Structure 1
Amino acid sequence: MIREATVHDVPEIRAMIRELAAYEKAAEQARATDEQLRAALFGEHPAASVLIAEDDDTGGIAGFALWFPRFSTWTGTRGMHLEDLYVRPGTRGAGHGKALLAALAAICRENGFERFEWVVLDWNEPAIAFYESLGAELLEEWTVCRLTGAPLEELAARAVPPVGGGAVRQ
């Protein structure tokens, strides 16, 4: 069963984020707290949405998908970015990942989103094979770029304050 997450799911979502980070060999980077997730997912201006996969056999949470809208200047339309897709090891192979992706594709269709995009680590061959089996196109010519920590702060220090103070519009 796939359902929208509720605020009561936050501890399990945080636990699965940490499980995913450990799988991706980056456990130390998963620092989000319950309070941060509660505000980001269920606050006044949610930054993202989460779907939960429940396992029919155990009744427990089998996995989750965290996504947010994006915009394509090329198509002039909104799309979806899947930030995290995770299915717990004990429930893999039961169709939870496919059900989560199908539910997200349905959200795309319902909202007129023309693109549904995510990234996958190049060494994660099981995930790559799974995504390709669904018809996903791997865009190998694109590279993810990231600024964090000191480089982000140093670049920001060079900025001339933008009109409106640079606040994020909700």
Structure 2
Amino acid sequence: MSLQLETCFYTSVEVDANPGYREADHKVECKVEINGELNFVNAHRLGASLSIAIAESDGMPYDIALFMFAGFTIHDDTLAQFANAGMLERALDQYKNSAVSICYGAAREFVLMVTGRQPWGPFTLPVVYPSTIELAITLGDEVKGLAKISKRNALTPRAPKKKASKQK
């Protein structure tokens, strides 16, 4: 499975230093909220939009909210191959996990850079597991066609392959 990031940009970034924060006074678990959508435009193009926010709290040094967009290229025929095997959902889930990992990693790096010269010093977004993130998924017409193939193939019982017999 080959997923290549083509573009990534932030359409909205908000980082506010929390004036009530005192490092020694607060040790609060950081809760991050991630929402967004994946758009499988066709079998070779994927768009991702993510909204990432830190829940506001006096225990956090910064209030952070950002919105990002990323465009990816799928370089092989993985979606068609998984569809023919009746497992398109598995491929879509793997691409979702990869896209979230790439986008969230870029966001973590960006927030670290932006907060590096803020009053409370550098801040890193917490680690998240992409498999736990729920995103809306939109399928373009080509991928919808693959989904129909996948569903049909998943329901069709396959006969076991026969081993070729050796003839003398």
Q: TM-score range by the shorter chain?
A: under 0.3
TM-score by length of 1: 0.26
Larger Rg: 2
Task: With a CA cutoff of 8 Å and minimum separation of 6, indicate the structure with the bigger relative contact order.
Answer: 2
